[in-house]
A and B are shown apart, each in its own frame.
Chain A
Amino acid sequence: MANGYRPEIVQRAFVYFIGSRLHPFCSLTTPKLRLIARYEMSDDLIALQFETNQAFRQQISKGTDDWQGGQYLDLRVFIDGVYHQRSYSIVGLAHQPLWWQDDAIITKSVKSQRHTVTIAVKPQGVVSHYLTRQIPLASVIDTSVPLGHFTLVQAKTSLDNREPDNQKLHPLLFVAGGSGITPMLGLITQALANGYQVALLHYSRSKLPHFQHQWQQLSDIYPTFSYHLIHTYNPATYLAGERYLSAEGLLSLNLPLADTQIFACGSQALLAGLYKAVSEIILPQGNQLRDNIIIENFGNALTDFDSGGNQLLDNTLQTESHTVYLRSRQRQFDSDTTLLVAAENAGIRLAHGCRQGICQLCRCNKVSGVVKNIQTGKISSDGYESIQTCINIAMTDVVLDI
């Protein structure tokens, strides 16, 4: 079906091709990054600093000034003949000096620093290993513009819905696990600059001295900022004597929890712990503390992501088996889990990116059959519509237009 088809007068493929032949990095249409430095922050977190090109800067300045704290980039990395797309949180804000710029270079690099962006990557899959260990300096990769709603704007809209005429700023609590700390620096910096009261809880196995330095600097400037770095193997750092997140720990922070917006980013275990802890805290007026939570739920926080082959989804989602037919490829397979994983189990490669319903790369048209979205629980209609294979399971036999 020609749903929404419009012929491109000048084909994007052509523009992209000619553009990259004229200059691999400069482009008027495609945002690109060039790797300029790599910093080991701990043994399993590596920061990558990239220079941005003109298209990147132009496209973000169209919307707001630079990016919001907490946003991420979709990087497209070409490894062994396959383009992989992954999301990585941006560390810090556009004008924010990061730890390596503290000393001598800070004055000199004011200009160039405006044109860089930094991400932190935990090597745990094909792409993150390539980015942290193999990709040579000065390599150019394609990127999206900064994306995502794990931002202060989002927090404001979500709590203000409850009390629309409330002008005072809510306190903010940031809960991070492991590499889930990466979006927090930008968010917290932006929040403090806007006058919020901020608390940070970071649970991790290893120390991150660079980040610690950054937090210390911030709390020197802003007295409203408090941070707690909890190391799994160091009982002295535990909050309220607890190794993991607990209700007592949250209460010991002395925050007005009912009005506090909670930002969380980390492994599924951490998030589960957070939800368990908040369920033990009773708020007045029948409000639920869990409604105050905003989660960043993409790739780099999931430990078993893309190396572990999605055991997480596989184990929890065994359903009745149905036949899926790819009508353009004349191939069929049985599916008792998500369509994407089932196809891969049958040796069929389908387009995908994040595998969690975020990046939309797996989106395709369903001709017939009923599918269920495992994130929203929504059951689809029986007819022709666009679906994502990574988060849908077959409820009946399904025909896809692939």
Chain B
Amino acid sequence: MRLLPPIDTAHSAVPILTPLSDAPLAKNDSGQPTISTQQIRYPTVTHAPLTKAQSDALAVELNALYKGVMDSLGSDDAKYIQRIYATVVYSELVARGLLAVAGRMSSRRSQIGTWLLGTSMLSFSKILNNMELGHNVMHGQYDWMQHPHLNSQKFDWDIVCPAPLWQHSHNYLHHTFTNIVGRDHDVGYHLIRVTDEQPWTPSDRHNMFSTAVLAFGFEWAVAFHDIQISVDEYADSPDLHKIMQQKSRALFAKIGRQVGKDYVALPAIAALTLGRRSAMSTLSGNMTANTVRNLWTWAVIFCGHFTEQAHIYTHLDTDESKGDWYVRQILGSSNIKGNKWFHILTGNLSHQIEHHIFPDMPASHYARIAPQVKAICHKYDLPYNTGRFSTQLRQVIGRIHHFSKPSEQEWQAYQSVSAADTTTHSHKSTPESETAKGLSRFLPPVVRKAIAYIW
């Protein structure tokens, strides 16, 4: 293991600019252990990289590791998640108190100081609620506790996406079909081109800007993501309307609750009890904290699957074994290095690889098993993609930038097609946008779709 070069160093230091073909790995895969030694940017996988025998052996080792941890779960883990919940609640209460009081401070300096402190604490609380608590509890990582509230069936987090919608788009689709173009809708979120498997369209030129919008409104994107997916998934189902109606109603009820709480009720209470300035400090603090949380979760989640060496799959292998599934999860995910608090704030999604192979293992165990997972990866010559936060984030932005531009062929193809003046192969289908009238034409198509399904 030690003889192998460390994979942790930045791959992007000297980028190897190979011409991008559809499947650079397709020619030399089939069991050849060449993945880690060959640094192709933005790799795409078309066949299982390990032989069945190898991936079965890998599965045996990973299953044993999984079982070891799951058998050890007990009161320490129960205490841990209850302590996380307590931290979320207490920090939120203190933060909201500080924000309300900030408007009553006499001097401008103490006003700003209190507001900053309150906003940071609220951001911290919301991040913890979203990641280490919400994400992990809703994955069912603590269902073995049978806690009356902290379980995947009951828990709901402090963002606009209702728990059941997220569990469908994330727990099921994203974690099952990870990184398969067309199956895992988290590959680009229907918005951003992140692989050359997705055809280029002229609007992709603005992907850096779209990404920024997505990052600032990430919770909204997550919320409407499942609506967009489900419309396609259930398109042929006779229950389409019923299913979509339930989802839309759930979504708008949750949006009402979140917006009502952060932007109406709490500022109103502050206004009635402490005056107008307290209302303003509460409102602005809530807004800022939600935005900070959006940016943070966006950054962490994009670093998980869109780094330079995150492998994209072209299709789902029809006879994919558990071992192949493990391999796909490992190749498609990337970790972030950091200290204990960094890991907690990312909800341990900084151990994206461990999370993707064991999504229902309590996340606080990922750091402990990471060395073993890494050793197993090295043994089977699978790359274990990890790096510092800044490195990974730079790679993500680099990737989005790279794919916002067309390749030579695509540009030529576009030129010839645009002569005929059509954009038929748009992957962001907006056919009904022309029909929208009035104010609703300012809404994104998926929002219009969701509204249409309420009735």
Chain A residues packing against B (C-beta within 8 Å): 1-3, 5-9, 11-14, 16-18, 76, 78, 80-85, 142, 327-331, 347, 349-353, 361, 364, 401-402
Contact = CB atoms under 8 A, between A and B. Distances in A.
B243 A8 contact: no
Contact of A2 (B71, B143, B247): B247
Scoring B144, B151, B261 by chain A CB atoms within 10 A of each residue's CB, the highest score goes to B144
B75 interface: yes
A402 B140 contact: yes
Contacts of B165: 2
Given A81-B73, A349-B143, A142 B148 contact: yes
A353 B164 CA distance: 23
Interface in B137-186: 139-140, 143-156, 162-165, 167-168, 171-172, 175-176
B139 A328 contact: yes
A interface: dominant SS: loop
B148 A76 contact: yes
A81 B152 CA distance: 17
B254 interface: yes
A19 to B, nearest CB: 12
Nearest to A84: B146
B415 interface: no
A401 B79 CA distance: 27
A150 B89 CA distance: 41
Contacts of B139: 328-329
Contacts of A353: 146
25 contacts: A1-B246, A2-B250, A2-B251, A7-B254, A7-B256, A16-B149, A17-B85, A80-B75, A81-B73, A81-B74, A81-B76, A81-B79, A81-B145, A82-B145, A82-B146, A85-B146, A142-B148, A327-B171, A328-B171, A328-B172, A330-B325, A349-B70, A351-B151, A352-B146, A401-B172
Given A81-B75, A330-B359, A402-B140, A7 B148 contact: no
B86 interface: yes
Nearest to B139: A328
Contacts of A80: 74-75
A29 B149 CA distance: 14
Contacts of B74: 80-81
Contact of A349 (B77, B144, B164, B257): B144
Nearest to B361: A329
A13 B246 contact: no
B90 to A, nearest CB: 9
Contacts of B413: none
A41 B249 CA distance: 55
A5 B164 contact: yes
A330 B246 contact: no
A351 B153 contact: yes
Interface string B8-28: 000000000000000000000
Given A328-B139, A328-B152, A349-B144, A9 B162 contact: no
B360 A329 contact: yes
Nearest to B172: A327
Contacts of A78: 78
Given A80-B74, A83-B146, A1 B67 contact: no
B264 interface: no
Contacts of A328: 139-140, 152, 167, 171-172, 175
B246 A2 contact: yes
Interface string B97-141: 000000000000000000000000000000000000000000110
B164 A2 contact: yes
Residue from the set A3, A16, A328 with the largest chain B CB neighbour count within 10 Å: A328
**Most chain B CB inside 10 Å of its own CB: which residue of A6, A13, A350:** A13
B268 to A, nearest CB: 14
Q: Max chain B CB contacts within 10 Å: which of A2, A12, A18?
A: A2
Instruction: Please classify the interface of chain B as helix (H, G, I), strand (E, B), loop, or mixed, using the class held by over half of its residues.
Output: helix
Given A13-B149, A328-B140, A349-B143, A5 B250 contact: yes
A1 B243 contact: yes
A6 B164 CA distance: 10
B65 interface: no
B1 interface: no
B436 interface: no
B212 interface: no
User: 5 shortest A-B CB distances, which residue pairs?
Assistant: A81-B78, A13-B149, A81-B75, A2-B250, A328-B171
B269 interface: no
Given A13-B154, A81-B145, A401-B172, 15 more contacts: A1-B164, A1-B168, A2-B246, A5-B250, A7-B250, A7-B257, A82-B78, A327-B176, A329-B360, A347-B67, A349-B70, A349-B143, A351-B151, A361-B146, A401-B167
A83 B147 contact: yes
Interface string B357-368: 001100000000
Nearest to A15: B149
A9 B167 CA distance: 20
B253 interface: yes
Nearest to B248: A2
A2 B144 contact: no
A17 B152 CA distance: 18
A125 B152 CA distance: 27
Contact of B144 (A1, A16, A82): A82
Contact of B89 (A6, A14, A330, A364): A14
A78 B168 CA distance: 30
Given A13-B149, A330-B325, A349-B144, A7 B168 contact: no
A333 to B, nearest CB: 12
Nearest to B175: A330
Nearest to B325: A330
Contacts of A5: 162-164, 246, 250, 253
Contacts of B167: 328, 401
A347 B70 contact: yes
B320 to A, nearest CB: 12
Nearest to A347: B67
A390 to B, nearest CB: 13
Contacts of B151: 351
Contacts of B147: 83
Which of B246, B325, B360 is the most central at the interface, judged by chain A CB atoms within 10 Å of its CB? B360
A331 B175 CA distance: 11
B173 to A, nearest CB: 9
Nearest to B252: A7
Contacts of B251: 2
Contacts of A3: 164, 246
